[in-house]
Structure 1
Amino acid sequence: MNAGEKRVGPGQGSDRLSWVLIILHGFLGIGAIVGGGCLIIDPSGNLLQMPDSLLEHSPFRNFLIPGIILMLVLGLMPIVVAIALMTHFHWKTGGKLNLYTDRHWAWTFSLYTGFALHIWIMVQVFWIQHVSIIHLIYFAWGVAIQVVTLLPGVQRRYSS
């Protein structure tokens, strides 16, 4: 080890990676709450400068339902997951929906959040019939959430 080099002990690397995961969830959640809230406040989409033409191939007449889904699934859920990843709090329903019973429910819900983000982006692209850079960024964000969640150190940190 060179002078000035820090040795990372057990848990320290996974602590850093856990914080990366928490931050990914936190920023996703905040952004989706703001975006979803704006769509709920103004279902026409004008507040976010979103034209009606974006809904042309979708089953929606306005942005209210997409705003509610965005706020709850990609806003509230990632915030709850981020808090649970920090605090390891117990949630009975989360435990029942946890497919990986040897892991804390928040770890599993982190994977669920990545899948939810991928589905959201794919459905958006299908309905809008156009791919933009923001779609690619958020798809990559979902991949990043899942990759960090699946790293061995992070898995160990959230093992039962």
Structure 2
Amino acid sequence: MTTATEERRFRPTDSRRLALWLYVVGAFGLGVTALFGGGNLLFDPSGSRMNMPAEWLAGTPFPDYFLPGLFLFTVFGVGSFAVLYGVVRRRVWAWHAALGLGILLVGWILAQMYLLQMVNVLHFVYGGLGLLLAGLALLPSVRTELRG
């Protein structure tokens, strides 16, 4: 006989919770890379440290990469870990935040492509990650796990 605590325990091998486990892995990867990338842009707003030429910003409202780096660092870096905290602790706002993170990432990538007037392989990687995060959050098993 299992107890309610055992039922709620996070077991990635449980097929009902596999989608939630994949969400956690994806959001963690996003958070780590956003902290790294955003942090680099904050320390070097010229973008040269990350091989991002200043010419890419021509036609955008940004004189350098500081504000995009700040957004990347705070929203997708710190924000991803805040969402993960809510997911792991099953906070009442976790499902909304999990879905919002995926949708916001897709919007960020689309805005980048529009403003920069270019497409990079990383746009497909992170745009796909955003779609994956939003799609996983919409699965009934994840909704039940985070709302239940």
Could you give the per-residue CA deviations for residues 36-72 of structure 1, whole angstroms, max 9, x where no partner exists? Answer: 0000000011110110011101101110000000011
1:43 alignment partner, SS class: coil
Within the candidate set 74, 92, 102, 1:114 is matched to 102
Within the candidate set 61, 64, 77, 1:62 is matched to 64
Whichever residue aligns with residue 105 of structure 1, its letter is W
Distance in structure 1 (CA, Å) of the matches to 2:71 and 2:16: 32
Within the candidate set 126, 132, 138, 1:144 is matched to 132
Distance in structure 2 (CA, Å) of the matches to 1:14 and 1:37: 36
Kindly report which structure 2 residues correspond to 1:1-160, keeping only aligned pairs within 5 A, or say none: 12-89=14-91, 104-160=92-148
Structure 1 residue 133, shift from structure 2 partner: 1.6
Could you give the per-residue CA deviations for residues 128-152 of structure 1, whole angstroms, max 9, x where no partner exists? Answer: 1011221111111111001111111
Could you give the per-residue CA deviations for residues 54-111 of structure 1, whole angstroms, max 9, x where no partner exists? Answer: 110110111000000001111111111112211224xxxxxxxxxxxxxx31111111
Distance in structure 2 (CA, Å) of the matches to 1:146 and 1:14: 17
Distance in structure 1 (CA, Å) of the matches to 2:37 and 2:127: 17
Distance in structure 1 (CA, Å) of the matches to 2:24 and 2:52: 30
Structure 1 residue 13, shift from structure 2 partner: 2.1
| Structure 1 unaligned regions, length at least 5 | 1-9, 90-103
Distance in structure 1 (CA, Å) of the matches to 2:147 and 2:102: 19
Distance in structure 1 (CA, Å) of the matches to 2:87 and 2:16: 12
Distance in structure 1 (CA, Å) of the matches to 2:40 and 2:18: 33
TM-score, normalised with respect to structure 2: 0.87
Distance in structure 1 (CA, Å) of the matches to 2:17 and 2:120: 34
Structure in which a larger fraction of residues adopt helix: 2
| Structure 2 unaligned regions, length at least 5 | 1-6, 9-13
% identical aligned pairs: 30
Distance in structure 1 (CA, Å) of the matches to 2:120 and 2:51: 16
Distance in structure 1 (CA, Å) of the matches to 2:48 and 2:121: 21
Structure 1 residue 16, shift from structure 2 partner: 2.1
